[in-house]
Amino acid sequence: MTASNWTLVMEGEWMLKFYAPWCPSCQQTDSEWETFAKNGEMLQISVGKVDVIQEPGLRGRFFVTTLPAFFHAKDGIFHRYHGPGIFEDLQNYILEKKWQSVEPLTGWKSPASLMMSGMAGLFSISGKIWHLHNYFTVTLGIPAWCSYVFFVIATLVFGLFMGLVLVVISECFYVPLPRHLSESSEQNGRSEEAHRAEQLQDAEEEKDDSNEEENKDSLVDDEEEKEDLGNKDEAEEEEEEEDNLAAGVDEERSEANDQGPPGEDSVTREEVEPEEAEEGISEKPCPADTEVVEDSLRQRKSQQADEGL
């Protein structure tokens, strides 16, 4: 079985064996496998084998990690056989249909999937590199380190070449914008930036205005409080003055009452000294004068109350 004819296993019933010539376990099962292959017609099954050294791509497609490896295929559905490579066990596996109890390789694990096809490509490339390394070291007699240096340089050059190819492909399929569209896009971007800057400035100015208004309101409140306190002090002083005036008037009235009715001494005094009596009477406060003072005080209070409001 090779990479070119492996698709034959997609039809009918098959049994496959993966081996390597240097594998001792594979060599022990060779005779048993040949006997099983000869009886394939009797079992109505096709039998094949794959050399993983010559066919690394199939090894990657079936993801073979241990040797020998056995697979059963029935109409494109694959099962892994984990039993011994003895003829009797292999025969019972087919006759008794034990493969039905084994979980099939489905999804990305199936050899026909896209994932396994990629694995086949990678394994085939690694196999070619290995064959080339053997050619350099065995056939040509080049030291191994020279072969490694060659592969390192080849990998770098190949990577640079692939990068250049990708750049060229991107340049071919990339369609640049016309100049007027690019300029308009740049202008739009600038206008958007300017608009954002203006919005930020407006927000800052609003914050400053709000702070100034708050400061003014606080100053106005402080001035009003000071005016209220001044008005209260003035009102208190005026009340004290009024109280003092009223107290003076009450004292004068009480003194006038204490003097009592006019007697003989007062008559004689009025007769002897009329001028002095007239002067004393003129000095005493008159009720009319006290009423005028009280009216002036009341007017002052009303004016101060209006100013406070």
Residues marked as catalytic: 23, 26
Tokens 């050399």 belong to residue: 51
Kindly state the tokens that stand for 4. 């070119």
Residues with Cβ within 8 Å of residue 94, at least 6 apart in sequence:
13, 15, 43, 45
- DSSP for the chain reads --TTTGGGGGSSEEEEEEE-TT-HHHHHTHHHHHHHHHTHHHHT-EEEEEETTT-HHHHHHHT--SSSEEEEEETTEEEEE-S---HHHHHHHHHTTGGGGSPPB-GGGSTTSHHHHHHHHHHHHHHHHHHHHHIIIIIS---HHHHHHHHHHHHHHHHHHHHHHHHHHHHHH--PPPHHHHHHHHHHHHHHHHHHHHHHHHHHHHHHHHHHHHHHHHHHHHHHHHHHHHHHHHHHHHHHHHHHHHHHHHHHHHHHHHT-S--HHHHHHHHH-HHHHHHHHHHSPPHHHHHHHHHHHHHHHHHHHHHH-
Amino acid occupying residue 207: K
Distance, CA of 240 to CA of 44 (rounded, Å): 135
Tokens 């039993």 belong to residue: 83
Q: What is the DSSP letter of 105?
A: B
Distance, CA of 72 to CA of 70 (rounded, Å): 7
